[in-house]
Amino acid sequence: MSARYLSRFKFVILLLILIAGGLLAGCSRDTGTEPAAPIAVDRPNDESADVPAVNEPLVQMLPTPAASLSPPPSPTPAPTMTGDPVRAAIVATQTAAANPPTPPISASTPAPSLMSEPMPTPSGVYSWTLKVPILMYHYISEPPPDADVYRVDLSVAPESFRQQMAYLKDNGYTPIDFYDLSTAIVAQTELPEKPILLTFDDGYLDSYEVVYPVFQEYGFKGTFFIITEFVDSEREGYMTWPMIEEMAQAGQRIESHSRTHPDLATKSRDGLIWEILGAQETLAAHVGYRPRYFCYPGGTYNEETIQVLQELDYWGAVTTENGSWHGFNDRFEWRRVRMRNTTTIEEFQRLIDLEGAISGKKPG
């Protein structure tokens, strides 16, 4: 081989090396911009292990992207409402009424800031099953004289209700909401020592007239499941949108109970979407956040109902079945504790005491 051919050969080799180097550099750049693989976090089962604060490491810790999630509810009134002086006066009154009663929270539970942070997407990879009573109320009023047995059974007398709430207050219970519960289940954040969830189905007028003032006095928060068409049509005996909006601004949680309260187990897929998505969008327009929790009307549902709820980014749903353990896998079938007309204060204490295992938890 002549020297000329040899140098041309060297040149070709050099060129090949340069091209290969460039390709490799390109590859490594690509790798750098790819989404990070889910980070497996080895969570010890030891309950005393240090649980990270919700608002920073959590988002990186959970493997599911949160991009599709809109911000969770904020109890702060929307600033756009302050333009009109009349409106401003209403907002000022509501804000004054709303802010003082901050529910007592244990030092390790950053509940208020939680609501302004992106909600961790339930991953189910690391989760607890928690024993937290979810009380199910309907009417908080005396039933009318002609009421049938069902109506009577669904009615708790205002005096009994006040007695029950006073018992919770005096005995160190802290009402939480479903956002707190989900976060505790999937992210293993600590709940207050005696957590309890107070739910009110159907959006009756007494939720505003009886329950809300008691909650403001005690700094309690409840979850109110609303049937949106009943409110749209201003049905007698139900709350109005201004009442519901005021409660939402005061930190009460407004969640979905469908548009018309049908038997969802008999609905077609389109019918389910109309009922479930419709209610969610209507509520979002009124309360300023997208409700993530659902209450099955009449307690009826099937696999397709759950499927549609998941597709519409709901995070959980409650039934009318009895029970108090709640985990990630059964999040669309969380059970509740029924409050009846005949529930005495002694029975109330027994129902929420749960054999002394309040705030019990087990991996699962």
Q: For the residues of 303-332, what is the DSSP string, one character each?
A: HHHHHHHHHTT--EEEEEEE--EE-STTTT
CA-based angle 168:171:173, to the nearest 5? Answer: 55
The nearer residue to Zn ion, 201 or 245, going by C-beta atoms, is: 201
Of residues 85, 336, 357, the one with CA closest to residue 198 = 336
Check binding of 201 to Zn ion (CB under 5 A).
Answer: yes
The nearer residue to Zn ion, 201 or 255, going by C-beta atoms, is: 201
| Residues in binding contact with Zn ion, number by CB under 5 A | 2
Output the smallest distance, CB 297 to Zn ion, in A.
Answer: 5
Q: What is the CA radius of gyration of the chain?
A: 26
Among 182, 185, 192, 202, binds Zn ion (CB under 5 A): 202
The nearer residue to Zn ion, 55 or 302, going by C-beta atoms, is: 302
Output the smallest distance, CB 312 to Zn ion, in A.
Answer: 19
Beta bridge partners, 326, equal: 130
Residue 25, both tokens: 């550099």
CB neighbourhood size of 31 (10 A): 8
DSSP symbol at 172: T
Check binding of 255 to Zn ion (CB under 5 A).
Answer: no
Check binding of 180 to Zn ion (CB under 5 A).
Answer: no
Contact 295, 284 (CB under 8 A): no
The nearer residue to Zn ion, 194 or 336, going by C-beta atoms, is: 336
Tell me which residue has its CB nearest to Zn ion. 201
Region from 115-123, 148-156, 178-186, 198-206 binding Zn ion, contact rule CB under 5 A: 198-206
Output the smallest distance, CB 202 to Zn ion, in A.
Answer: 4
Region from 79-87, 143-151, 187-195, 200-208 binding Zn ion, contact rule CB under 5 A: 200-208
Contact 261, 298 (CB under 8 A): yes
The nearer residue to Zn ion, 202 or 255, going by C-beta atoms, is: 202
Output the smallest distance, CB 338 to Zn ion, in A.
Answer: 13
Region from 27-35, 140-148, 201-209, 347-355 binding Zn ion, contact rule CB under 5 A: 201-209
Output the smallest distance, CB 150 to Zn ion, in A.
Answer: 12
Region from 18-26, 142-150, 193-201, 330-338 binding Zn ion, contact rule CB under 5 A: 193-201
Cα–Cα distance, 75 to 286 (Å, whole number): 13
Residue 42, both tokens: 């080895």
Of residues 232, 291, 300, the one with CA closest to residue 262 = 300
The nearer residue to Zn ion, 128 or 200, going by C-beta atoms, is: 200
Cα–Cα distance, 56 to 321 (Å, whole number): 36
Site residues for Zn ion per CB under 5 A = 201-202
